[in-house]
Chains A and B, each alone.
Chain A
Amino acid sequence: MHDIATQGLQFIELTWISATFLFIVGFIGGLVSGFIGSGGAFVLTPGMMSLGVPGTIAVASNMCHKFPKAMVGAYKRWRYGQVDVKLGVIMAASATVGVQIGIKVQEFILAKWGQAGSNLYVSLAFVVVLVTVGGYVFYDAWKIARSGNFDQTSRLAEWLQTIRIPPMIHFKTANITISLWFTIPVGLATGMLAATIAVGGFIGVPGMIYVVGAPGLMSSATELVIAFLMGLGGSIKWALNGMIDIRLTLIILAGSLFGVQLGAIGTTYVKDHLIKVVMGSIMLMVAVSRGMAIPTYLAQLDMLSVSKSTTAFLMQCSFVTMCLALGVGALIILGAMFKGRRSEKMEERLVGEQELQHVEQHV
């Protein structure tokens, strides 16, 4: 029997404060995930660790809440006609391979430069990927919002769709026909990023938008299918080793199942480009947060001399900025949803009044 629990793994004592904290973060993380298809995990893992949960148990428990949350979100958005299941399954298959490559890279870095080197690599990956991709996503969203145009297929995706390398795959819901060979790199990169920073969607969603050519709303919804399939596989692996603290998982799930459905409802009130606005904002803020952690890891590798109080302060600032990123994302979503609902209700009232006037005139 593989009884790791008896081998000295520490499962924390739960208090009302920690349970409330996990419930709230679960709710906000769920809201963001339901809207942009990913996110939340990057705050939950360090959040759990700040409560004293060991890193591996935090990752395992987080992953175990992620896949049922993604399943509920994907189902909800599938009902709104936003999910391309075929695209999600193909992306998830290649992302699974990407995760294995990402783990190998991590193992290589850990063996060569130790824990500090590995942390530095993760933070650098965060900053480089999030600034580049997040910056472009944000710029694109700003461009669309300013011009008032409809969101259009990127030139790269249009060009890739004209290259006919078999097997060509047609994605019915997204209404795209593209070679399988162009979807594989997006899936691989998604998996690699998931293995490195635990949020593959930061590559997966922009990849589906700009490389495959799927609309933003559909990409974020399809990302939930990928998160479900990858999360299920990962959770089984962690469960086989007895690493999941089911108490933490269930508390987070209690909040996130409310959040993910609210986020999914929110997508029906907004324009396509708002997905990009939320995603770009969160990515850029998380990049700043991880950037603040870099001096600490450089100091641990003796590449920079910084006092311990400074590094402790920077790490605290990093965590606060990360929470802020999630909060800002949630506020944009709720604000847009509120605005959308209000204008829809006003429109309904106006139509009702016009109909009444029309009837009165005829009477």
Chain B
Amino acid sequence: MGQLRAAKRKRLISKTIIFGAISIAMYSVFFMNSALMMKYFTRGFYYAALPILTVFAFSFVHGSFASNVWTLLGIEASQKRPAVRPTAQPRPARRERPRARASLNT
């Protein structure tokens, strides 16, 4: 049990480091060339795809990094979620079971 938890934690640490490194690399490359980036990113028209695709890429990498950091810090969603308003669930449809019937002809 303890070994399993340690292995899981080890995997989480490596994932955090990998995503963190990629995130830092992406931010560094971007800001070291910010003048060039700004030149193309503000051209509009076809170039409009650049800022949109960039934020998608950053949100995937940096978002995964952030998620792993919180998990590593022990900040995770509650296991015992609060009940969202209780509502009556519809019953599953019941099929009538055929029954053997015996009758006497008198």
Residues of chain A touching chain B, judged by Cβ–Cβ distance below 8 Å, are 1-5, 9, 11, 14, 64-65, 67-69, 71-72, 76, 80-82, 150-153, 175, 215, 217-218, 232, 235-236, 239-247, 249-250, 253-254, 257-258, 261-262, 264-265, 268-272, 340-341, 344
Residue B58 contacts which of A217, A250, A271 (CB distance < 8 angstroms)? A250
A250 touches B27 (CB 8 A): yes
B85 touches A344 (CB 8 A): no
B59 touches A272 (CB 8 A): no
A261 touches B51 (CB 8 A): no
B55 touches A64 (CB 8 A): yes
Residue A240 contacts which of B37, B48, B77, B78 (CB distance < 8 angstroms)? B48
Secondary structure dominating the interface of B: helix
Q: Does B43 lie at the interface of the complex (its beta carbon under 8 Å from any beta carbon of A)?
A: yes
List 20 A–B pairs whose Cβ atoms lie within 8 Å, in order of A's numbering.
Answer: A1-B45, A3-B43, A5-B38, A65-B55, A80-B77, A153-B85, A175-B87, A232-B52, A239-B49, A239-B50, A242-B44, A242-B48, A244-B51, A250-B55, A254-B27, A257-B66, A270-B82, A272-B82, A344-B79, A344-B80
CB distance from B3 to the nearest CB of A (A): 21
- The interface residues of chain A lying within 8 Å CB-to-CB of B58 are 68, 250, 253
Residue A150 contacts which of B42, B56, B69, B86 (CB distance < 8 angstroms)? B86
B81 touches A246 (CB 8 A): no
B43 touches A249 (CB 8 A): no
Chain A residue nearest to B73 (CB atoms) is: A262
- Report B68-105 CB contacts with A as 1/0, cut-off 8 Å: 01100001111111101111000000000000000000
Interface size on B, residues (CB 8 A): 41
Chain A residue nearest to B74 (CB atoms) is: A341
B38 touches A215 (CB 8 A): no
CB distance from A33 to the nearest CB of B (A): 14
B77 touches A268 (CB 8 A): yes
Chain B residue nearest to A173 (CB atoms) is: B84
Q: Does B14 lie at the interface of the complex (its beta carbon under 8 Å from any beta carbon of A)?
A: no
Task: Give bound CA distance, A242 to B70, whole Å.
Answer: 35
Secondary structure dominating the interface of A: helix
Chain B residue nearest to A249 (CB atoms) is: B55
B45 touches A250 (CB 8 A): no
Chain A residue nearest to B56 (CB atoms) is: A68
- Report B24-44 CB contacts with A as 1/0, cut-off 8 Å: 000100110010011101111
A68 touches B44 (CB 8 A): no
- The interface residues of chain B lying within 8 Å CB-to-CB of A264 are 77
- The interface residues of chain B lying within 8 Å CB-to-CB of A239 are 44, 48-52
- The interface residues of chain B lying within 8 Å CB-to-CB of A262 are 70, 75
- The interface residues of chain B lying within 8 Å CB-to-CB of A270 are 82
A217 touches B82 (CB 8 A): yes
B47 touches A242 (CB 8 A): yes
Residue A244 contacts which of B34, B41, B75 (CB distance < 8 angstroms)? B41
A5 touches B42 (CB 8 A): yes
- Report B11-23 CB contacts with A as 1/0, cut-off 8 Å: 0000000000000
- The interface residues of chain B lying within 8 Å CB-to-CB of A341 are 78
- The interface residues of chain B lying within 8 Å CB-to-CB of A268 are 77-78, 81-82
CB distance from A255 to the nearest CB of B (A): 10
B52 touches A257 (CB 8 A): no
CB distance from B34 to the nearest CB of A (A): 6
- The interface residues of chain B lying within 8 Å CB-to-CB of A236 are 48, 52
A269 touches B44 (CB 8 A): no
- The interface residues of chain A lying within 8 Å CB-to-CB of B55 are 64-65, 67-68, 235, 246, 249-250, 253
A247 touches B31 (CB 8 A): yes
A240 touches B45 (CB 8 A): yes
CB distance from B29 to the nearest CB of A (A): 12
Task: Give bound CA distance, A64 to B30, whole Å.
Answer: 17
A261 touches B63 (CB 8 A): yes
Chain B residue nearest to A270 (CB atoms) is: B82
A4 touches B44 (CB 8 A): yes
Chain A residue nearest to B78 (CB atoms) is: A268
Residue B81 contacts which of A80, A215, A250 (CB distance < 8 angstroms)? A80
Known contacts A250-B27, A253-B55; decide if A11 and B42 are in contact (CB<8 Å). Answer: yes
CB distance from A176 to the nearest CB of B (A): 9
Scoring B39, B42, B58 by chain A CB atoms within 10 A of each residue's CB, the highest score goes to B42
Residue A269 contacts which of B47, B63, B78, B87 (CB distance < 8 angstroms)? B78
